[in-house]
Amino acid sequence: MRICTVGGGSGMPITNRALLRAGFRDIVSVVTTFDSGGDTGRMRTDERGQLLAFSDYWRALISLWRDGKRKKLWQEMLRYRDGRGRNFGNNFFRFLVEKLGDINQADEFFQELMGVKLAGRVVPVATEPADLAFQTLSGQEYRGEHYLDLQRMSTDRVKKIWLEPRVRASPEAIQAIKESQVIIIGPGSLYGSLLANFLPRGMAAAYRQSRARRILIANLMSVANENQYYSQRDYIDIFRRYLKMSRPFDDIIMADFPRQPRKIWEKAMKLYSYEHSRPIRADESLEPQPILADIAIIEKKNTRLRHSAKKLAGVLRKVIG
């Protein structure tokens, strides 16, 4: 069974690792190429924007890594940042792309070079550089995905997003959507990691035409400038608008929060309230009804909620079959 995961950031790797735990070995990860924060942003600025963002690409690639004696070492190496914040992974894959001439060949070359096996492949959603732009409720307009992160605690919510320029989706991304039996979206930043993948020309249409089973792994918490206090209904309505579908998903997996320890849960909620963030509420009156499951953990270090790849694996195994 071919499964296509769509996303970026830190969410997609969790989904991929969960799928590997569940026993799936034919995974195609479609990732965003519009990141403009941190070291990636500096690299793209130096090149006047004429450079793809590689950060989501290599993070997804690591998450598909099945085995290899030096797996842990390479994971640490690709994530390594020097004293000036420059990331080794970004420069390494930039080098590969320049030598190979095509980012779609990078994962195969990486497997040969490192002697590792991947449970699938990674596909960039576009091979032409572009920036994510958005407008807020107050009418302010911004160009650059990093502004979404900078204003994540702002109550001046995002009204609409688009690409500048509006590039075409890569043929490989379109093919992945059309040929997969299952498509899984999320979790991740609603606009920056998820919907950004459907802005290139051809992607939303391919998704609508696909006969795959469509699954959404909903985010755990709302983000003030993206979906402040949203319920499941509000959350799904945004996908309906950008995908132009009345029913964009066949299954929606959401966290069953009451299973969290009470004391640490209350502490986490208090800290999230300072960020104008709340849990995304399930609505069992909707179709399809949400699949509520124990899929969340609370990190002790910073008391943040995260999806658990181990817990999610069991749920995906049952949902996909």
Give residue-wise pLDDT tens across range 99-118: 777 777 777 887 787 777 88
Whole-angstrom distance, CA of residue 247 vs CA of residue 287: 8
Give the DSSP H or E segment for 270: helix 262-273
Provide the pLDDT confidence category of residue 39 given band limits of 50, 70 and 90. Answer: low
For 264-291, how does the pLDDT look when each residue is reduced to its tens digit (9 = 90+)?
Answer: 999 999 999 999 999 998 888 888 899 9
Other CB atoms within 10 A of residue 181 CB: 14
What mean pLDDT comes out for the span 293-311? 94
Residue 317 and residue 293 in contact, taking contact as beta carbons nearer than 8 Å: no
134, β-bridge pairs: 142, 161
In this predicted structure, the answer to whether residue 161 has a pLDDT above a threshold of 80 is yes
Q: What percent of the chain has pLDDT over 90?
A: 64
Provide the pLDDT confidence category of residue 154 given band limits of 50, 70 and 90. Answer: very high
Q: Which of 223, 212, 234 is nearest to 6 (CA)?
A: 212
Residue 306 and residue 267 in contact, taking contact as beta carbons nearer than 8 Å: no
What mean pLDDT comes out for the span 62-71? 77
Number of domains forming the structure of the chain: 1
Q: What is the pLDDT of residue 121?
A: 93
User: For strand 291-293 and strand 251-255, is the pairing parallel, antiparallel, or unpaired?
Assistant: parallel
Mean pLDDT for the chain overall: 89
Sheet holding 131-136, edge to edge: 141-143, 131-136, 158-164
Q: What is the pLDDT of residue 43?
A: 67
Q: What is the pLDDT of residue 110?
A: 79
Whole-angstrom distance, CA of residue 18 vs CA of residue 13: 8
Q: pLDDT higher for 161 or 50?
A: 161
In this predicted structure, the answer to whether residue 160 has a pLDDT above a threshold of 90 is yes
Q: What is the pLDDT of residue 290?
A: 94
CA distances (Å), 169 to each of 130, 173, 179, 196, 306, in order? 11, 7, 15, 11, 30
Q: What is the pLDDT of residue 46?
A: 65
What mean pLDDT comes out for the span 90-105? 78
For 190-215, how does the pLDDT look when each residue is reduced to its tens digit (9 = 90+)?
Answer: 999 999 999 999 999 999 999 999 99
Q: What is the pLDDT of residue 277?
A: 93
**Which one-letter DSSP state was computed for residue 116?**
-
CB proximity list for 285: less than 8 A, separation 6 or greater? none
Q: What is the pLDDT of residue 68?
A: 60
Specify the pTM.
0.92
The distance between the two most distant Cα atoms of the chain, rounded to a whole number of Å, is 53
Structural domain boundaries enclosing 79:
3-320
Q: What is the pLDDT of residue 79?
A: 78
Q: pLDDT higher for 54 or 238?
A: 238
* CATH number of the domain residue 245 falls in: 3.40.50.10680
**Which one-letter DSSP state was computed for residue 201?**
B
What mean pLDDT comes out for the span 22-27? 96
